[in-house]
Structure 1
């Protein structure tokens, strides 16, 4: 094998290694979609979203859900898609400073199907951002 052939083989090996490294990095960045319990929305918001869907305005429906709940784009779209199939639960009422820890009250609300209310409770009582409150509620065991 000549030096030129050896150099060509080495270049090919380095290129293959670079490609495999890039693929490995891309795969490690992929995360499974977050799975939240069904979100609760007030009846008037559900009606508004359905009206927008009836007018063929799904983007506006997602935008309104995002504004009302503080959710991100993906989660708001999941809510809108779920509303196409049927009604969602109504938010439960809560009393700020009620009995039990905030974690216990948020967990109870989430387990009852009111994820949005649980996030709202956490945000109201702690001042957390929407993203932080969502993470907090979704990790309660």
Structure 2
């Protein structure tokens, strides 16, 4: 009977491992939404953007997310400036109309950066940090 206990434990352990493997195999792995780049793709876009290789970064980002050319360019500019962006989040600056952009640029060129940021924030739903980055890119 003393030999039966270790054998039973080994058999039970093998059965548990097999069950876990079967359950794990049947479960879908972490699926990525079609409009969300994979983690390695995000790193690639960030690396290219920060290296100043804007065109390549835009191309990779568009292939991964399906963003328009303008939105992908805005995201790459944001990343190159040290900002962050997550797929599914509105592209900073995408909803700024021409009048607001012109007013912010006018204020910025007159040395009134804070007022320019305020104008952008009043007319968009951008955060303070995103509005600041937007104004700095004008």
Same fold, TM-score > 0.5, yes or no: no
User: Normalization by structure 1: what TM-score?
Assistant: 0.33
Query: Rg bigger for which structure?
Result: 2
Higher relative contact order (CA 8 A, sep 6+): 1
TM-score normalised to the size of structure 2? 0.34
